Structure 1
Amino acid sequence: MRSNSWNVLSGNGNPATILASDFPATGRTVAGFGDLVARLGTTADAWETAPPPTGSEAAMSGADYLARWLPDTTGGPVRTVLGFCVGSVFAAGLAAEIARHQDEPPRLVLFDPERPDADLLHRHYHELVGGLAPLLSAPEIDEARQAGKRARHEHDGMRPLAAALCGLFREYGEPAFRRTGLDAERGAEVVATFASFLGYLVAAADLDPRPQWAGATALSSATPHSGLNPLPPEERAGLVAREISFDLPHTELLRDDEVARTVAQLLA
């Protein structure tokens, strides 16, 4: 295992039988695969994708991400690939490539699978700005959000839009961080993490996961704008082989015991 490409969630670091695709980050409040795997009670070796070094993601394509993560599977077959949100796009790419090198393709299990677009980039910026509400005045928050809306209308391409939104978050976020006494280095780290996340979303847009999603099982939350939920019924029905829905918010999907029991049954 390349230690800077994967995080070990369970097992002893042997060749993984379970791979999980997500964007883990320090301070994240959305449940992650660490929460899910802890509830599975599995002794299998499970790895989770690690983001590339901060600053390198701006020029990376979807294929570059896959090349970074593709593991050495010679020690044993990968049985399952999991994907969360946009990580489900990369999970499809990993599953397709792994299937070329072993006798049986891995099963693919997705959680609120979503393909990124420019509106998603803007939504994440909008939500992040909202998180600055305790640090900025209401007029400042409104100004930051209006600037984000203008950027969304001015940039058709996802990569230029990501660069513009990162610049805006730096412009409005760093003064907010200073008001809390956060030093400049830590403030820059927060901005860099956002830039890395947007780079991850932009790269995922290079990939078409639909051929692999067609054979996958999707576990869906009840959050209206997440995963398959915003799609028209006819498109949603044909996108995956099976969908299992839960009355849970997107943020808690990987932290729920019922979801863990369902996943354990799928893995068995």
Structure 2
Amino acid sequence: MNLVTTWTTLKESDSANLVLCVDFTETGRAEAGFPDLLAKMDYDGTFWHVSPPAVAPGADIDGAAYVRSWFEPLKASGRKVHAVMGYCIGAVYAAELVKLLEEEQGEAPRLILFDPEPTSLENIYFQFGKVFGILSSILNEEDVAETREAMDRPLQQEGVTVEGYATQLYAKFRDVGHRAFDRAGLDPEYSEEMWGTFSAFLSFLTYADHLDPWEGWQRATAVSSSNPRNGLNGLRASGRDAVVAEELRFDKGHDVLLTDDEIARAVTKLLER
């Protein structure tokens, strides 16, 4: 399968410093993203943001091949990467990219993570629920009931994997969504564009489960919010203590972690080290 990943320029600079940003924002989420952070930062560098391939969960690939498609354009660019930043589940991929880049350029880029956490069934459920909520206005009662059952039933069963769960959700919601779009008379081209974004988002959540970020995170600086369920706070609450090289804790919400002035200044200092 030919996976196509592109890197979008968020900020251009004549500086040799290239910083990669790993996050998924195309679903119109409420949380701030890396463009919000850069607007508050005073750092002379070029920033690229990943646009992952639109591949559906359950495709015949694994997490290593998925991330390799991100790495190949970087390798082809000939640019040396100064730092990699990852938000939430993007932190899993950020650690994998640092490992690949270290092999390529002989030294590891700095790794900065914002509320890092692995993917999980609960995370898929929560994130899918937000997308489901956005489209609920064009769904009828039968659509909603079918989708809710597909969301809830697997969580009550044993042996359900992240990939299996995401694949089921994608298949069910595509079926339900097509019916809803037909009723609403929406343009087929818009429909396919929306499904491309949705499949890319679910894959972003899914293939992180194929990767092991724990060793890579040991060299990272983590920027933690005060939200008890997010990032390292949530991991500790569940009994798992992820080890990072350094943790900067802020009394800020998870949703504003990438748009806070104090955090922007702290990240600028990290990149200037």
Report the TM-score, using the length of structure 1 for normalisation. Answer: 0.84
Q: Which of 142, 150, 153 is equivalent to 1:150?
A: 153
Alignment map for 1:195-210 (pairs within 5 Å): 195-210=199-214
SS at match of 1:208: coil
Tell me the alpha carbon deviations over residues 27-47 of structure 1, each in whole angstroms, 9 at most, x when there is no partner.
444322222223213331211
SS at match of 1:231: helix
1:68 alignment counterpart: 69
Task: State the distance in 2 between where 1:28 and 1:234 align.
Answer: 25
Identity of aligned residues (%): 37
Unaligned runs of 5+ in 1: none
Unaligned runs of 5+ in 2: none
2:130 alignment counterpart: 127
Question: Which amino acid in the other structure matches residue 247 of structure 1?
Answer: D
Tell me the alpha carbon deviations over residues 166-201 of structure 1, each in whole angstroms, 9 at most, x when there is no partner.
122224434445565533332343233222211122
Say if 2:53 is the partner of 1:49.
no
Is residue 121–residue 162 contact of structure 1 (8 Å, CA) maintained in 2?
Answer: yes
Say if 2:9 is the partner of 1:8.
yes
Q: Which of 167, 173, 181 is equivalent to 2:177?
A: 173
2:92 alignment counterpart: 89
2:257 alignment counterpart: 253
Is residue 56–residue 202 contact of structure 2 (8 Å, CA) maintained in 1?
Answer: no
1:242 alignment counterpart: 246
Alignment map for 1:208-247 (pairs within 5 Å): 208-232=212-236, 237-247=241-251
**Cα distance change on mapping 1:149 and 1:12 into 2, 3 Å:** same
**Cα distance change on mapping 1:54 and 1:237 into 2, 3 Å:** closer
Compare 35-44 and 106-115 and name the one that shifted more.
Answer: 35-44
Question: Which amino acid in the other structure matches residue 101 of structure 1?
Answer: E
1:107 alignment counterpart: 110
Report the TM-score, using the length of structure 2 for normalisation. Answer: 0.82
2:270 alignment counterpart: 266
Task: State the distance in 2 between where 1:128 and 1:56 align.
Answer: 16
Task: State the distance in 1 between where 2:42 and 2:76 align.
Answer: 23
Question: Which amino acid in the other structure matches residue 154 of structure 2?
Answer: A
Cα shift at 1:244: 2.1
Cα shift at 1:64: 1.3
Is residue 31–residue 256 contact of structure 2 (8 Å, CA) maintained in 1?
Answer: yes
Number of residue equivalences: 266
Task: State the distance in 2 between where 1:165 and 1:187 align.
Answer: 17
Which structure has the higher relative contact order (CA within 8 Å, separation 6+)?
Answer: 2
Question: Which amino acid in the other structure matches residue 62 of structure 1?
Answer: G
**Cα distance change on mapping 1:140 and 1:56 into 2, 3 Å:** closer
Task: State the distance in 1 between where 2:189 and 2:88 align.
Answer: 30
**Cα distance change on mapping 1:141 and 1:4 into 2, 3 Å:** closer
Is residue 126–residue 145 contact of structure 1 (8 Å, CA) maintained in 2?
Answer: no
Cα shift at 1:95: 0.8
Is residue 108–residue 217 contact of structure 1 (8 Å, CA) maintained in 2?
Answer: yes
Is residue 27–residue 131 contact of structure 2 (8 Å, CA) maintained in 1?
Answer: no
Is residue 224–residue 250 contact of structure 2 (8 Å, CA) maintained in 1?
Answer: yes
1:40 alignment counterpart: 41
Is residue 54–residue 193 contact of structure 1 (8 Å, CA) maintained in 2?
Answer: no
Task: State the distance in 2 between where 1:109 and 1:45 align.
Answer: 16
Cα shift at 1:206: 1.1
SS at match of 2:132: helix
SS at match of 1:239: coil
Task: State the distance in 1 between where 2:241 and 2:215 align.
Answer: 14
